[in-house]
Amino acid sequence: MTGMFENIIIILYLAVLGYLGFRGYKQTKSTTDYLVAGRDTHPFIMALSYGATFISTAAIVGFGGVAAWLGNSLLWLTVFNIFIGIFIAFVFLGNPTRKMGYRLNAHTFPELLAKRFDSKFIQIFGALIILLFMPLYATAVLIGGTQFIALYFGTDYHMSLMVFSIIITAYVIAGGLKGVMLTDALQGSIMFIAMIILVVVTFDSLGGVVSAFSKLENVWQVTVVDHLASKSINEFAPGSPDFMMKLSLLWGFEGWNSMPQFLSKGWLFVITTITMGVGIGVLAQPQLIVRFMTVKSKQELNRAVLIGSIFILAMTGIIFIVGALSNAWYFEFNEGKNALQSAGSVEKVIPHFINTAMPKWFAFVFLFALISAAMSTLSSQFHTMGTAVGRDFFEQITKKDYDSVMVTRLGVVVMIIFSVTLAYAFDDEPAIIARSTAIFFALCASVFLPSFVGGLFFRGMTKAGAISSMIVGLVVSSFWLLFVHFKEAKSLGLAKAIFGKDSLLSGDIIFVDALVVALPLSIITAIVVSMMTKKMDKKHLDRCFND
């Protein structure tokens, strides 16, 4: 009976998605409709679409699991998500982006930069960055969503991946950005409701807010300090729950309610990679920036600040707190074990907690929230990659007058096939989810942020300044990831193959994220080169900045 009920709900859900995709299709009559949703999106739709695109399964499953491992220090990421990702982004960057996009008739993020700096190279370069790196992020989200579907319904992973991909393809191709944003808004609403229920049930089961947080100290003492302090990390299998908790001790963590020791490995990881990498990187995400170009006035952006901030608080704020508190729940209801010991690994904590601690009906609701989170992020990614292929790359290379929407739809199909192929190849590496998200966000910030912000606010920023800062951002980020950073350099193995060691540097500096090095260098390059090169034509600048 339950299975029958679930199937009916799923069919209804898919039917509503189909209807919204069809509505998007009916309302899509021009290139502007397909690429920037006709520039007349409702603020509620825009805010929820921005939030739902921002928050993927990576945030909920990946980072929620990290919170179970490293505790409430992850709340710094929520501070950045709300203050930088919503307040700064919407209040200071949103309207200038919207106005410049309108004045220059730009339909994509690379096109906006290209028209501002009068450079086709920037448009093609921006498209190539998106096409090279976004599939990795999309693949991570695709794997996360598919694994949940396969686990919940007991279906084959590859079959689930195929069905999941076909559904997303259908509404991205048909509805363009209108279809994507309408479905995002529905999915965002489901995610919001599920998170509210999750936090209420969690606090209730632990005896209230104060009682829940106060229990964490004892759980840390018993399951981590007393159990692991006297043992060597070599006694545990790499990646095992006790190995991970021992690692957190060695990295300077002192409890789930405490920050790691200042400038310790753990502090550098939480602050530079997780908080700054993702928190600042959001400002230069092509799939999010394009949403500023979908509204017709600043009023929609003002309203979206209110809606978006509450939404993000309910997403990352709640999942990080619940992730940390899951340790207290397991300790109380699972024979004195912490979250990692109970679930088995970082990525399994949130799914395991939902299925164990929550009522059966809620596990079903939460499954929808996770599928929604994955679908909303993926559909926006595929739309952005499709426009990068069609509008930013193909049209610029061939210089012929094609049907832009048709080429973009073709681009969407090509990029979905590419991402699905990657998801087939990497399906046994779920740990890739949180890492690839942080890498992609940090890379976008280092490459695009100086040109984007400089282009919006400084008339003196030149074409040469923009191009050189983008190249420096890409080169330095890539170098740091390939040859220095403790995790990526080791996993990729290039430094080992060439120089015979995992990282070219040693000490705690290898825990510093690429963004901390690459972004300042990219900013300095933009300023110095702009000061040294010829200013742009006054007429062109007037067109960019004056109404």
Residue numbers of the site for other proteins (CB under 8 A)? 71-73, 75-76, 78-79, 82-83, 86-87, 91, 95, 210, 213-214, 216-217, 254-255, 257-259, 296-299, 301-310, 313, 317
- Min dist. Cβ of residue 74 to other proteins (A): 9
CB of 85 to other proteins, least distance (A): 10
Query: Residue 302 or 533: which CB sits closer to other proteins?
Result: 302
- Distance in angstroms (rounded) separating the CA atoms of residues 509 and 264: 10
Minimum CB separation of residue 221 from other proteins in Å reads 13
Least separation in angstroms between residue 226's CB and other proteins is 19
The amino acid sitting at 115 is K
Give the CA distances from residue 505 to residues 146, 262, 484, in Å, rounded to whole numbers and listed in that order. 38, 21, 6
* C-beta separation of 143 from 427 below 8 A: yes
DSSP per position, 46-108: HHHHHHHHHS-HIIIIIIHHHHHHHGGGGHHHHHHHHIIIIIIIIIIIIHHHHHHHHHTT--S
Nearer to other proteins, 91 or 166 (CB): 91
**Cβ count within 10 A of residue 118:** 16
In the complex with other proteins, the residue whose CB is nearer, 125 or 256, is: 256
Q: How far is the CB of 302 from other proteins (least distance, A)?
A: 4
Nearer to other proteins, 65 or 317 (CB): 317
Q: How far is the CB of 123 from other proteins (least distance, A)?
A: 24
Q: For residues 155 and 288, give the distance between their C-alpha atoms in angstroms, rounded to a whole number.
A: 33
User: What count of other Cβ atoms lies within 10 Å of the Cβ of residue 407?
Assistant: 19
Which residue, 55 or 523, is less far from other proteins as judged by CB? 55
Q: How far is the C-alpha of 513 from the C-alpha of 519, rounded, in Å?
A: 10
Minimum distance, C-beta of residue 310 to other proteins, in the bound complex (Å): 7
What 3-state class would DSSP assign to 518? helix
- Cα separation, 489 vs 485, in Å, equals 5
How many whole angstroms separate alpha carbon 258 and alpha carbon 252? 10
Amino acid at 31: T
CA gap 520, 532 in Å, rounded: 18
- CB 537, min distance to other proteins, A: 23
CA 504, CA 320: separation in Å to the nearest integer? 34
CB nearer to other proteins: give 213 or 329.
213
> By C-beta, is 324 or 481 nearer to other proteins?
324
Q: Indicate the residue among 85 and 176 with the shorter CB distance to other proteins.
A: 85
Nearer of residues 91 and 159 to other proteins, judged by Cβ: 91
For other proteins, the closer of residues 7 and 297 by Cβ is: 297
Q: Residue 291 and residue 181: Cα distance in Å, rounded?
A: 9
C-beta of 346: minimal distance to other proteins in Å? 19
Residue 321 CB, nearest distance to other proteins (Å)?
Answer: 9
What distance in Å separates the CA atoms of residue 284 and residue 242, rounded to the nearest whole number? 37
Q: Collapsing DSSP states into helix, strand and coil, what is residue 256?
A: coil
Cα distance between residue 537 and residue 543, in whole Å? 10
Between CA 372 and CA 400 the distance in angstroms is 38
Please identify, using beta-carbon distances, which residue of 311 and 480 lies nearer to other proteins: 311
Minimum distance, C-beta of residue 521 to other proteins, in the bound complex (Å):
28
Nearer to other proteins, 71 or 179 (CB): 71
Residue among 262, 332, 338 nearest 71 (CA) = 338
Contact 129, 310 (CB under 8 A): no
Helix 209-220 vs helix 157-205: crossing angle, to nearest 10: 110
- Using the structure block, give the residue that is written with the tokens 């596990």: 363
- For the CB of residue 377, give the shortest distance to other proteins in the complex, in Å: 22
